[in-house]
Amino acid sequence: MKKAVLLPFLLLTCFSLIFAQRGTIVSFDWDQSFTKQEIRDLFDNAGIPSTFLTIDYSVDIYKVKYETVNVDAVTPVNATGIVAIPTDYPCAMALQSFGHGFALKNSDVPTGGPNNVYRLIALGLAGNGYVMTAPDYIRHGFDGEPGIQAFMHAKSEATATIDLMRAARNYCAANNIELSEQVFLTGYSQGGHSSMATAKEIQEFHTNEFQLAGVAPGGGTYDLSGIAADSLLSPTRTTVEPHAFGMITRSYIDIYTGVIPGIDFTFEEIWQAPYDSILLEILDRTHPNTNTSLLDPIPNTMLVDSIRIAAQTDPNHPIRQALADNNLYDWVPTMPLTIYHCGADIENPMENAIFTYNEMVANGSTSVNFENLNPDLGHGECAQWAILAAKNWFATLRTGCPLNLDNQTELANQLSIAPNPVTDLAYLDLSGLGKNLTIKLYDAMGRQLRKYTHLKENTFLFERKDLNAGMYFLEVFGDKRSTVRFVIQ
């Protein structure tokens, strides 16, 4: 009798050890608190006008370790990330996840330190009144599990993102922090890929748990095996990230050896010396070497000839098969989804985003949109505008608080310039913003170009004069502060 009772107990114990209790909090440690003015100062000091993000609330940041699953989607593994929680938002808060971009070292992910750019982004977006999560993804960060980073691996990006949102929900429930049902996803570069992967994973498996109100991947790559592979293997394409393809191959050798036939080579067997050893140092998240200038700016030239030729010419090459396992264009999104990109992106060419949009529409999606934020901005320059565009779009989808509880968002929606795009002259409507206004003009990099003071009329005449074509912002200071984005052609 005792054996009969003991057997189910042992089976249950073994099951618990084998399968992750996904979203379980391992640690949830307060890290830092910021008033809304301190957050604004951080952005202003970084050269990014704080009114671009409409920071209205104070925020607490927490470092979190939580349980998720490894690349096989079964084996338990701990991952880390940050959760940023507004302390004075008057209503139930929506949950939003931000996916970080290409991060080489432990210091480059959201938990990497107080000056980390992804931490700053999450902090600023939390200042809008969202409970923000920003995962490091698995096997990354100072407190992450050891192992090779699972770079551009759709399944583990999605599970790590989902399980950090679960951990945030668990914490909020235990601490009487009210959340709404709305969930938003965004991210840039790799984070564009991860937010798209998370949206697909939720739609396929977790619709009863997560209500996706808006998804905004930016600057991402979604057709990896076709357009991205051709770009990565191009004999003429130069890049400021020649190590990115190395990161992909290192990751996929680790993940797909024994899974995809033909992936039975080592990293050193596909990258020529001395680049193989240099890449391994640069790609090791614990190694101090970050000198990518030691690499050839054309990744193609660093590959072993036999691998390079085979991967270029064979659409079924094992490397392309591994890339194909992480494609994200062949599905039908049913949630509101906008793909943001910029036209001069060399690292992740906009052709990929347009192809993805067209494929989704052809598959029958009626909820997906595409926006070219600026035809002249490159990958790095486009990042802050993709984040801002997502922020502004989410504000139109968000429910919960009456608009008068978020005056700056309301004013940002009211502020308009016409015509937009601008060719020579344009008019800015200043009605209701007060008297004795000041207006500042910024370029796409956040640099202040002009300042207009002591404005008392309800309409402001903007003159292009010597400004080049591109994206610009006007920031208005009066009774309230607000911004408007516009393009000069």
Residue-wise pLDDT tens digits, 353-389: 999 999 999 999 999 999 999 888 999 999 988 998 9
Q: For residues 120 and 43, is the Cβ–Cβ distance under 8 A?
A: yes
The answer to whether position 407 is within a domain reads no
Which amino acid appears at position 114 of this protein?
A: P
The answer to whether position 3 is within a domain reads no
Number of domains in the chain: 3
Q: Do residues 60 and 206 both lie within one domain?
A: yes
**Percent of the residues in the chain that have a pLDDT greater than 90, as a whole number:** 75
The answer to whether position 402 is within a domain reads no
Q: For residues 328 and 193, is the Cβ–Cβ distance under 8 A?
A: yes
Element (H, E) at 84: strand 76-86
Among 182, 210, 208, residue whose Cα is nearest residue 198? 210
CA distance 394 to 125: 11
- Given a cut of 80, whether residue 443 has pLDDT beyond it is no
CA distance 308 to 299: 10
CA distance 408 to 12: 53
Q: Do residues 361 and 242 both lie within one domain?
A: no
* Parent domain of 452: 415-488
Q: Do residues 383 and 425 both lie within one domain?
A: no
Partnered with residue 438 across adjacent β-strands are 477
The answer to whether position 76 is within a domain reads yes
pLDDT band (50, 70, 90) for residue 445:
low
Q: Where are the alpha helices (DSSP H) in 275-376?
A: 275-283, 305-313, 318-324, 350-363
Among 249, 228, 252, 232, residue whose Cα is nearest residue 241? 232
Q: Do residues 391 and 448 both lie within one domain?
A: no
Q: For residues 144 and 285, is the Cβ–Cβ distance under 8 A?
A: no
Which is more confidently placed, 84 or 470? Answer: 84
- Convert the pLDDT of each residue in 189-207 to its tens digit: 999 999 999 999 999 999 9
- pTM equals 0.85
Q: For residues 318 and 262, is the Cβ–Cβ distance under 8 A?
A: yes
Instruction: Give the angle subtended at the CA of 145 by the CAs of 141 and 147, to the nearest 5°.
Output: 95
The answer to whether position 276 is within a domain reads yes
